[in-house]
Amino acid sequence: MSLDDLTALESRRIQDVNREFPEVLTAGIAHEIKNAHAIILKGIELMENTESHDIRRYALKFMKEAVCRADRITRNLFTASIESLPRKESVDFQTVLEETLAIASPLLNANHISIDISLLSDMPKVIFDPDQLKQVLINLLNNASESMDNAGTITIRASKVLNNEGEAMVRIRIADTGHGISEKDKAKVFDPYYSTKKQSGGMGLGLFVVKNIVEDHKGSIRIESAAGEGTRVILDLPCQGRDYDKEIDAYR
């Protein structure tokens, strides 16, 4: 293939991406609104089934947080159309995780999902946009919850590693006890519009968005899974410091 042919091929690819971007943007916004919608519905159900003013105030609080988060995310998606950079800063991962779990807890509790967390006593801060980190986590928690039939456990673990370039990373593993992902589906889970949940309204954009956010922050994501064996999502997030040995113990 000649240089002119390669140039023409790349030009057509860019044109295809530009044509698809408005559709991806619109669907991405719809996906995040759907996440907030699910949380709000669970909050309404909680308020309908209790007379406790404290529980109702709690429900209102997390519903408001879900709406505000969806508003920030949709504005960020619109901003992405003009190639704005994420607001990277030094972030306490544990704090962001706790805030995310507070938002997601009604959905997790309604599906009888327990959370098992073990982070590091000397957890370094990650370099990430805090709102986008919440977006990543809530998408992964929702996926894990939906993969389990009305009960199960989500395990969250952290370790410190160096990537292939010798850069310090925090490795986050999010594992579930769900039905797992087949080899055929695993090869496509990061593709836009590819979903194994079409019948339940899945749009196939959650992991596509997550991957783009993580890579925009110079991190990486991969999935380990097999049908019937649950799923592990492995995030490597950039962090402060470079004094970590490579991780050699296998995750269990």
How far, in Å, CA of 90 to CA of 66, rounded?
Answer: 23
Separation CA 166–CA 187 (nearest Å)? 28
Under the banding of pLDDT at 50, 70 and 90, the label for residue 200 is: very low
pLDDT of residue 233: 96
For 52-75, how does the pLDDT look when each residue is reduced to its tens digit (9 = 90+)? 888 888 888 878 877 876 776 666
Q: What was the pLDDT predicted at 77?
A: 57
Beta-carbon contacts of residue 75 (< 8 Å; ≥ 6 apart): none
State how far the alpha carbon of 5 is from the alpha carbons of 2, 15, 19, 142, in Å: 5, 15, 21, 44
CA atoms within 13 A on the CB side of 160: 16
Contact (Cβ atoms closer than 8 angstroms) between residue 40 and residue 65: no
User: What is the structure's pLDDT at 28?
Assistant: 58
**SS3 assignment, position 150:** coil
Top-confidence range, 33-37, 59-63, 116-120: 116-120
Class at the top of the CATH hierarchy for domain 3-238: alpha beta
Q: Which pLDDT score, from 0 to 100, does residue 10 have?
A: 41
Query: Could you give the CA distance from residue 156 to residue 201 in angstroms, rounded to a whole number?
Result: 26
Q: Where are the domains of the chain?
A: 3-238
pTM: 0.66
